[in-house]
Amino acid sequence: MARNRAYSSIWDAIEASPKEAANMRLRADLMLAIQETVAGWKATQAQAAKRLALTQPRLNDLLRGRIDKFSVDALMNIAAAAGLSVRIKVIRPAA
């Protein structure tokens, strides 16, 4: 009989390790913030790509959520180009 298991996020369920899940959560959060910001510009993809110093195909990958094509570093740089201020909250486990 299979047991149902609860996870705090989808990434915890599908990634091989907590480290990989944390990386994917951060990348997903950054991508969503950038996508929302770009949508708010009411600009064409070409205009938005130029503003972010990206090629239009690269921006298209980001807007379509192709998370595997972006590192945390790349997303941080894009977020900065979009005018976003990123803060990371580090939580230590209870002793």
Tell me what the mean pLDDT of segment 83-89 comes to: 92
**Assigned domain for 8 exists:** no
Residue 42 has pLDDT above 80, yes or no: yes
**Assigned domain for 57 exists:** yes
Q: How confident is the model at residue 3 (pLDDT cuts 50, 70, 90)?
A: low
Which residues span the domain enclosing 65? 15-81
The one-letter code for the residue type at 32 is L
Q: How confident is the model at residue 47 (pLDDT cuts 50, 70, 90)?
A: very high
Give exposure, 48-73, as e/b (b: 16+ Cβ within 10 Å).
Answer: bbeebebeeebbebbbeeeeeebeee
Tell me what the mean pLDDT of segment 14-42 comes to: 89
Give the chain's domain count: 1
CATH number for the domain spanning 20: value is: 1.10.260.40
pLDDT at residue number 90: 84
**Assigned domain for 95 exists:** no
**Assigned domain for 89 exists:** no
